[in-house]
């Protein structure tokens, strides 16, 4: 990518810290597509996700002096985007978590026989999950947060986080099976 040839990551950070608008624009262009996808995993509305991403970049530039240089810079920025998404959800929607565990829920995923699930299909299924399920699933399975970290981020218990993840997996398995059966019956 052209931006990477102009600046190394360290130079980009240094120039952004100095208020260099071209460097800030380069950072935005380098990561905006990826971070819009992160925000969209939490917020269905494209326009709102775009607003969250822009606010996330503003927060990144504001908090950049706090970046210690240890660990992945992209990972540090991603955490800010996730946090901004969760703040948006908290302030604009009321959400509740169901805490009952259902009998017989299995761990793992069901893969349709004879076919591969495309990533776009899986993202669509995840997007259709209820808000609580979707948030926990994304935080745990996609972003790699622990149940303890999810508890802290969402203000829920670890058992609620585990329950939501289990229910999200069960809902995804059910929908995958339904899609497989529909495809199988239509010869596709």
Domains and their CATH numbers in the chain: 2-92 (1.10.1740.10), 119-185 (1.10.10.10)
Torsion of CA 42, 29, 51, 85, to 10 degrees: 30
pLDDT per residue as tens digits for the range 146-182? 999 999 989 899 999 999 999 999 998 888 888 777 7
Note the pLDDT of residue 112: 41
Contacts with 35 (C-beta within 8 Å, 6 or more apart), sequence order: 53, 56, 57, 77, 78, 81
Enter the pTM of the model: 0.70
Q: Would you say residue 2 has pLDDT above 60? A: no
């Amino acid at each position: 990518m052209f931006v990477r040839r102009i600046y190394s990551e360290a130079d980009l950070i240094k120039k952004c810290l100095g208020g260099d608008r071209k460097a800030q624009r380069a950072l935005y262009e380098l990561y905006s597509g990826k971070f819009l996808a992160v925000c969209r995993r939490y917020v269905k509305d494209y326009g709102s996700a775009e607003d969250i991403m822009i606010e996330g970049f503003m927060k990144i530039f504001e908090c950049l002096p706090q970046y210690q240089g240890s660990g992945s810079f992209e990972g540090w920025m991603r955490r800010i985007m996730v946090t901004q998404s969760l703040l948006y959800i908290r302030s604009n929607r009321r959400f509740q978590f169901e805490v009952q565990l259902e009998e017989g829920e299995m761990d793992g995923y069901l893969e349709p026989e004879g076919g591969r699930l495309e990533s776009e299909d899986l993202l669509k299924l995840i997007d259709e999950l209820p808000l609580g399920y979707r948030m926990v699933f994304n935080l745990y399975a996609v972003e790699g947060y622990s149940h303890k970290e999810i508890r802290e981020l969402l203000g829920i218990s670890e058992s609620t986080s585990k329950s939501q993840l289990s229910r999200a997996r069960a809902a995804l398995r059910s929908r995958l099976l339904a899609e497989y059966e529909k495809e199988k019956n239509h010869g596709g």
